[in-house]
Chains A and B, each alone.
Chain A
Amino acid sequence: MTTRRGRLSAWWQAWIARRLPANKRVTLAHRSIFILPTGFGLFWLLFVVLLFLFGTNYQNNLVIGLSILLLSLFHTCIIYSYRNLAGMTLEAKTGPEVYAGETLLYGVSLHAKQVQHQVELSYEKTQVQTIARVADKAQEALIPLSNSRRGWIHPGRLRVESRYPLGLCRAWSHVDLANAQIAFARPKAGQYELSAEQQGDDHLAKDQGKQVVGVEEFQGLKPFVTGESLNQIAWKQLAQGRGMLTKTFEQPQSAPQWLTLDSHAPLEEQLSLLTWAADRLSAKGQIFGLKLPGKTLAPSSGEKHRHLVLATLAVYPEHLESPHGR
């Protein structure tokens, strides 16, 4: 029984993946919209039959007419419910970064040429988000998904549905917005043992890889503050119309730190520790690199580097690449 259901669901997944391939931006049209009566709609049809019998038994044409009118309303509602989704464009937006155990937020931006009402968005395991009105101007919805795993988390297909205008029919679509997000490993505070790369300097271990403001290495741009040296103004960016910016320079205080995996300790705990350590080091502005079996990230610093390190840790032992093509 379960295997049969499993096979059916697999078949359904394959069918819908062929029909509605994953895409960051999807516009709903007749290929992607399904319509079926709701429970209330079925009840309505039953009621129509009941009224028809009632009218027939009393040989009353007006009652028969009323039942037919209700049937015709149902027919009209099918078209309306289709119209309420057709032409809607959904676009995946990146949500804020999260760690395993936190709630993931999937951003979806919606807009439609014609005004559409009461559109409900949900993933299989999430609460329903109702958008009262979708119009020409794009608006964004965030759909929360609770998650405890690390790595690429694909929320599955987004269910877009509507029961507008009378609740008789449910029009829906299952779209794959190709919006897997990375959940970093759950950080675990601990005394991270410094790796074998220690160079025996007289520096304190905690200062290793730390950067101080200096003149050697270009670090980045920051908004100009009145009184700063004109030598450091980024003239090129000013000419591009990006406003007054100041170039900042840093110099590493000492040799960079390396984050490595200890093969004896449990893997998950190690990853959690490393994640925590990477965050710490990054917050202090130290330079650090990551060495994992089969993957090495050169020492660097900055937000981008931190993100890369955390993501690499999150997907270990897989390689960091977009999870698509599944």
Chain B
Amino acid sequence: MADSKSENIGRQSLLWLLLVNLSVLAPLYDKMTPWSMAICAICLLWRVGIFSGKVAKPPRYLVTTLAIASAVTLALVTAQIGLLNGFINLLILGYALKYIEMRDRRDVRAVVLVGFFLIAVTLIEKQSLWFTLQLTLVATINICVLVCLYLNASSIRRTAKLGAKLMLQSLPLAIVLFMVLPRLPPLWLVPNPKNATTGLSDELSFGDIGKLTRSSALAYRVTFDSSRPTNSQLYWRALVLDHYDGKTWTQDPGIKTLQRQRKATNARPSPEGEPIDYEVIAEPSYQNWLFGLDLAYTNTREILELPDGRLYAKAPLSQKYQYRVSSYPEARLDRQLTPDLRRRNLQLPSESNPRASALGQKLRTNYPDNERRLNAIMTLFNQAPFFYTLEPPRVGPQQIDDFLFENRAGFCAHYASAMVFLARQSGLPARMVTGYQGGEWNQAGGYLSVYQYMAHAWVEVWLEGKGWTRYDPTAMIAPERVEAGFDAMFSPEQSYLINNPFSSLRLRQYPLLNNLRMSLASIDYYWSKWVLGFDEDRQSQLLKELLGEINATKLAIFIIASFGVIALFIAYSVGLLHFSRHPDPVVAGFEQIGAMLTKRGLPRALGESMDAYQMRVLAAVPELSEPMTRYTTSYMTLKYRAPSPKACKQLKRQLKQDQRRLRLAILRLKGSLAISEGANE
């Protein structure tokens, strides 16, 4: 509406737009397809050209053609890059194209809103504290673009200052609302980002877990409600692999079907004994499996409790995911083994590993008692010249034979495979469990960090009357691996840091720097726990602490009150609540002093000159003579002698000082006079 002149975009706005375009798109670089990136680059260059007056605005048909071409190409590649990525690229292209054909303020507003949406999209995957701070800055720049439209003809610094001020003043209310606004469950299904999965795989061949052992990435963090179990108790179950084809261990197809159907059977026994309660914050892995100590139960609706003792998220973890677990170490899984389960856990590929098979048969005849037979197997690893290494020699097609009788060197997966093989061969139902073992305790934060290199594999054997029982053959070869943790066993430089020259875990050897690393990690942990993982439970916990028993009325009053109180603060900070004050601080200061003296019973008479007033005050209160004279001298010089700007600045500082001194003197006076008055009475 109105005249078109005011709707034009100023030059400063164009500069801000250049800045915001770069800063919004830069964090999204890994989401862009190469040609979206190319189009963005062209648009940006064109804008720079327009800004510097080298090129004209592109004709509309060109922009339209580009837009249609982009949309069509996007539709074609969406199948490859995933729905969400396709959508993000569409937004990015729209953003870039709108950006070059921008004509008036309406377009700028559209660009700003899309910019905010792109920031939100970036936040879906990048959630670290540092990233959030960076994106807050980008959001501020986006606000500055709008500010610039309504504060034109002023310097960039002023625009930036107002933008930042608006942001800062809006933060308190945002924080309060973030704490009290109700959290809803997801309303409908949304496409998830397609990403390469990290962490454990649901298949295990000998080569795989060695590679994993070397990643120093964080897998998840755990906070225990009460005391922390010892390291040797920390067997975090993630996957159960019970099918072996002579080469690869895989999951049972029955369990896989349950996973796919997101259905849990009620085959889990009800918990028994004392629970260990804890909370896990898992890093995004784009997998569904979760981690828990045996035997893990949870109340979360989005998590399945599978019959093999595992926890399974209904949706893949594309963001940090937080869940509560109660583990019952004394609970037993499958006291009765169904014939089907028994058959599957005795399964072995036919005619593989003949030497190991023969050993299994021999053990069966030598040790008819199940538990003694298992002990014999464990002792076997202990006594024979077995060697724990992260870089085992290669094995041939008869993997177990090669490992048991030739190489005798390997890591947890080798030992676990061999033990399951021997147990099954000797007639005991057994299976391999993979997960993580141990964790790094952060004393300051009071939590346990589990890294990818702590991945581990162990064995479960089914025993009559006891159900599934854990055996860890690795503990026989390298007991410190289990008791003190992975780091006690290997020097980091030779294992998980080989491929990570810049990992912060390198700082571990320097105590001071290690403390710093731990503190930074704690900050990140609290960020994950209190901001990223701020859910309904945490919210009600916090509100209970703040407001006591919560009800809807109380909450509504609290929200309205915080709107009001914060509005008052903002109003005060923009100068709304002290209107009567003189805009000139010099005069305002003088009026203040006058008001103070008036309160003391010495008002300035109408039309009384400054000098006369001063004389009168000094006559009445001689104590004030020194500060008062100084103040009036500075005031008169500044007010009536109009010094040079430089001297003026200095004088103003001087005046401020004098004013403070005089005020203090008057304040002090108040006390002493009150006493003398009291004495007079």
A residues adjacent to B (C-beta < 8 A): 40, 43-44, 47, 51, 53-73, 75-80, 82-83, 86-87, 113-114, 117-118, 120, 122, 127-128, 130, 132-133, 136, 163-167
Contact = CB atoms under 8 A, between A and B. Distances in A.
A87 B170 contact: no
Interface stretch (B30-38, B119-127, B550-558, B591-599): B119-127
A86 B579 CA distance: 10
Contacts of B173: 72, 75-76
Contact of B116 (A62, A70, A133, A164): A70
B667 interface: no
Interface string B581-593: 0010000000000
Contact of B583 (A136, A166, A167): A136
The B contact surface, by secondary structure, is helix
B174 to A, nearest CB: 4
Contacts of B574: 79-80, 83
21 contacts: A56-B184, A56-B186, A57-B190, A58-B190, A60-B123, A60-B127, A62-B531, A62-B532, A63-B124, A66-B120, A69-B171, A70-B116, A72-B174, A73-B167, A75-B170, A75-B566, A113-B579, A114-B583, A117-B151, A136-B583, A164-B151
A62 B127 CA distance: 7
A99 B532 CA distance: 71
Interface stretch (B139-147, B206-214, B230-238): B139-147
Contacts of B105: 167
Interface string B164-206: 0011011101100110010111111010000000000000000
B64 to A, nearest CB: 24
A165 B532 contact: no
Given A47-B116, A59-B319, A114-B583, A132 B123 contact: no
Given A61-B531, A75-B566, A86-B579, 5 more contacts: A56-B187, A58-B319, A61-B534, A68-B174, A76-B170
B384 interface: no
Contacts of B127: 60, 62
Interface in B235-283: none
A76 B568 CA distance: 10
B576 interface: yes
B127, B166, B171, B533 — which one has the most chain A CB atoms within 10 A of its CB? B166
B29 interface: no
A83 B575 contact: yes
A51 B113 CA distance: 11
Given A68-B178, A72-B170, A128-B6, A164 B575 contact: no
B188 A57 contact: yes
Given A62-B132, A72-B171, A120-B2, A163 B116 contact: no
A79 to B, nearest CB: 5
Given A62-B532, A75-B563, A165 B150 contact: yes
Contacts of B187: 53, 56-57
Contacts of A64: 178, 181, 183
B575 A114 contact: yes
Nearest to B169: A76
A165 to B, nearest CB: 5
Interface in B93-137: 105, 109, 113, 116-117, 119-120, 123-124, 127, 132
B218 interface: no
A73 B579 contact: no
A128 B2 contact: yes
Nearest to A29: B579
B571 interface: yes
B258 to A, nearest CB: 24
Contacts of B177: 68, 71-72
B358 interface: no
